[in-house]
Amino acid sequence: MDVSKGLPAIESHRELHIWIVENLKMVSVPEKAYGNFFEEHCYIILHVPQSPKPTQGASSDLHYWVGTEAGAEAQGAAGALVQRLQEALGSQTVQHREAQGHESDCFLSYFRPGIIYRKGGLASDLKHVETNMFNIQRLLHIKGRKHVSATEVELSWKSFNKGDIFLLDLGRMMIQWNGPKTSISEKSRGLTLTCSLQERERGGRAQIGVVDDEAEATDLMQIMEAVLGRRAGSVRATMPNKSINQLQKANIRLYHVYEKGEDLVVQELATRPLTQDLLQEEDCCILDQGGFKIYVWQGRMSSPQDKKAAFTRAAGFIRAKGYPTYTNVEVVNDGAESAAFQQTPLTPSAPPSDKLIPAKLDVGLLHSQPELAAQLRMVDDGSGKVEVWCIQDLRRQPVDPKHHGQLYAGNCYLVLYTYQKLGRVQYILYLWQGHQAPADEIKALNCNAEELDAMYRGALVQEHVTMGSEPPHFLTIFQGQLVVFQVGHKGEGQPASTARLFHVQGTDSHNTRTVEVAARASSLNSSDIFLLVTASACYLWFGKGCNGDQREMARVVVPAISRKNVETVLEGQEPNHFWVALGGRAPYPSSKRLPEEGCSCQPRLFECSSQMGCLVLTEVVFFSQDDLDKHDVMLLDTWQEIFLWLGEAASEWKKAAVAWGREYLETHPAGRSPATPLVLVKQGHEPPTFTGWFFTWDPYKWTNHPSHEEVENSLGATPAISEITAEVNNLQLSRWPGNGRAGPLTRQALKSSQDSSESELAPGPKAGGSRAGTSTISSGGLPWELLRHQAAEDLPEGVDPTRKEFYLSDSDFQDIFGKSKEEFYSMAKWKQQQEKKQLGFF
């Protein structure tokens, strides 16, 4: 096996490079063929981010893909070529091994609208994809939710099932058959892939038909039965999908893998909870994520031999564990870990973010730069309208504005914040839950939130907040005067003789919260400030480690708790009465408080679904607004917050969405805090703290975007379908061969019609059509007044009413449509129909 030849050039301006391994060499795949993979080959894919946001990673990803029928020699060549390419690219590259049908989410995210698996191999003199090839008959099995794949299967009814989508591709006719158990979302994504095939492989000139209900699509079913034969019985049921649930992904174990002589030694180091000190820079370790995925971590001081053996050792580990050979493998280098690996406890925490919230926020800047709002977690400066309700007797009771910010640990509260963004009124409803709140009040909190949301016609962004984990905007709307009282459930008081101790934490109005703690000396901390209130005095205690900003904010908080004269007490100079009120002296933390750990984790986007009652997450890597579909429930993890985005057609999953967010936190391999705020966002009401995590955001994207039903209807029952149906009818379909499949006469007739279809499907009316004068009209063009907004019966003789725009002169067409005819006919069919409707040529 000779892999000593030079590596292919990598174009710096291209984000994605794909090579097929052919004759032990890397041969570049043309861009228009991206997403097509032959099962007898291996491929190498390199993704190089071009202009990532500061919140997204800049490391490259190098994959080698193995087809189900690829030979051992091809696999060996691919592995060796990838190793050489990795050495040339450097340590900032993450490596992946992908097996056909079991690819990683990262790999699948490159190919929108989907992947096509093609049978056999690619002869060296053939192209990956031939445009305008109409002499074809194949059946594609389309499946998948967010990541769609199409596999060539046997041209038979035996290949069908009720839960998936099948595309019968006959060259100039493409029939999408939707299983009765498929969802609208699956149908929509299947149609997107079908339209993509129509554009890429037929130049947009094949006719698409959709079978949603066989009884209503008799013409299309006639064509299908002419090719596939008459179906005996009903289509088989769907095979259950073996998806990996979140609990399985949370089961992580760390191993040290090394070679001893000719043996592979696998030594388990630890299971959850894992710690950072388990990874040594001279080692190579394997992180096993419940058999779902295998990570090979390479220390910066590990030997070159260890690094070259990464995939070999992973394969040995997979065999030793009895895992499937297609188990996904990812190789990461110390200091250049992938986003998924970064969210494990093994990655060192980043220092706290140095992006401090300025004392005076520029609201206009936050709205014009949503990425800043997202990083600061601030939609504005907190100067909007605030309404507060306390849940009492399972109903919401309004709280007097003078008591806003005074919350009780035994209660739940609704805080409605109203603000304006670029002239439009926006809302955030905070659902605050105290640590001691009873279960019935927590349930009532959610019910009352739903009532409020209904009153505001679904326009409320709902953020679930747990006591002690309030986001900065929530603290800002109370101007640093948020105080949580431990006793006094439902507003009840406490005996005046009882001493009360309050812990004040924060340096400005965006991060200050005050919480009542047990009134004893052990509650003190030298890094902070405490307010002690007794029947006769009020002490403001300054620890030795506190700074001037902390002292300033403490003085702002005091009036919200006590109106008594305040005596300032410095640590070490306390009067005797101070210790008596706390029950006597006792040890307390006196060392300087360590700064809170930050996280440099990249934001991650997942599609949420439920299978057999279990949460299933599909990650979309390198995400954009285009990945949000109206049928989706999406989870955006920014580490400090979990956003749950609800498409307008997914409202039935509203209650489940919040539960999925909690399950995600509970089963996260890093052991996430269950108090992480959950933010429910509905399509069309996204706050800047959400949109800022996307590279670009178009607030009008969904205003004029056609729905799945509109796209499907625009395909219509056009003359091409009726013509093919007529051809099929002429073949005497009643004369079936004994095996129920279409006979040679049927296939030959369809084949001959496909061979001649390229000229027939050229834009414009067909030559030799039934109307007179077609050729004269085609060559000259008609005045637009005779074509625009005209009914079929009022058109000049020889004009095809379904293609009125074709009869315009080239100059008139350019003036009216703003593009040439060639550009127009290269567009998707539904886009053509939409423009024709708008301009009066439909």
The answer as to whether 526 is a domain residue is yes
Cα–Cα distance measured from residue 198 to residue 205, given in angstroms and rounded to the nearest whole number: 7
Task: Domain count for the chain, please give it.
Answer: 6
CA angle 191, 757, 35 (to 5 degrees): 40
What's the CATH number where 316 sits?
3.40.20.10
Q: Where are the beta strands (DSSP E) in 714-757?
A: none
Closest-CA residue to 107 (of 22, 34, 191) = 34
Structural domain ending residue among the three candidates 121, 141, 169: 121
- The answer on 757 and 772 residing in a single domain is no
Domain that holds residue 375: 363-581
The answer as to whether 459 is a domain residue is yes
- The answer on 271 and 171 residing in a single domain is no
- The answer on 108 and 28 residing in a single domain is yes
Structural domain ending residue among the three candidates 516, 547, 581: 581
pLDDT at 355: 56
- The answer on 193 and 256 residing in a single domain is no
Burial 448-469 (b: 16+ CB within 10 A, else e): bbeebbeeeeeebbbbbbbbee
- The answer on 639 and 684 residing in a single domain is yes
- The answer on 266 and 211 residing in a single domain is no
- The answer on 557 and 414 residing in a single domain is yes
The answer as to whether 589 is a domain residue is no
pLDDT at 242: 64
pLDDT at 781: 74
- The answer on 744 and 685 residing in a single domain is no
Q: Please, what sign has the CA dihedral across residues 644, 650, 654, 655?
A: negative
The answer as to whether 352 is a domain residue is no
The answer as to whether 791 is a domain residue is yes
Could you write out the DSSP letters of every residue in 346-378?
TSPPBPPP--PPPSS--HHHHHH-HHHHHHHT-
> Which helix or strand (DSSP H or E) is residue 288 part of?
strand 284-289
- The answer on 672 and 565 residing in a single domain is no
The answer as to whether 724 is a domain residue is no
Closest-CA residue to 603 (of 496, 471, 691) = 691
| Sites in the chain below the pLDDT cut of 50 | 1-4, 54-56, 125-126, 350-354, 489-493, 717-719, 731-780
pLDDT at 777: 37
Global confidence as pTM: 0.80
Question: Which are the contacts of 515, defined by CB distance < 8 A and separation ≥ 6?
Answer: 467, 468, 483, 484, 486, 502, 503, 505
pLDDT at 732: 36
- The answer on 496 and 390 residing in a single domain is yes
- The answer on 171 and 293 residing in a single domain is no
Cα–Cα distance measured from residue 255 to residue 323, given in angstroms and rounded to the nearest whole number: 15
Secondary structure class of 456 (helix, strand, coil): coil
The answer as to whether 700 is a domain residue is no
3-state SS record for 88-140: HHCCCEEEEEEECCCCCHHHHCCCCCCEEEECCCCCCCCCCCCCCCCCCCEEE
- The answer on 406 and 448 residing in a single domain is yes
pLDDT at 130: 58
Query: pLDDT tens digit string along 173-200?
Result: 999 999 999 988 899 999 999 999 988 8
Cα–Cα distance measured from residue 331 to residue 92, given in angstroms and rounded to the nearest whole number: 11
**Residue 211 CB neighbours (<10 A):** 21
The answer as to whether 87 is a domain residue is yes
Structural domain ending residue among the three candidates 310, 342, 374: 342
Query: pLDDT tens digit string along 357-407?
Result: 776 777 888 888 899 999 999 999 999 999 999 999 999 999 999 999 999
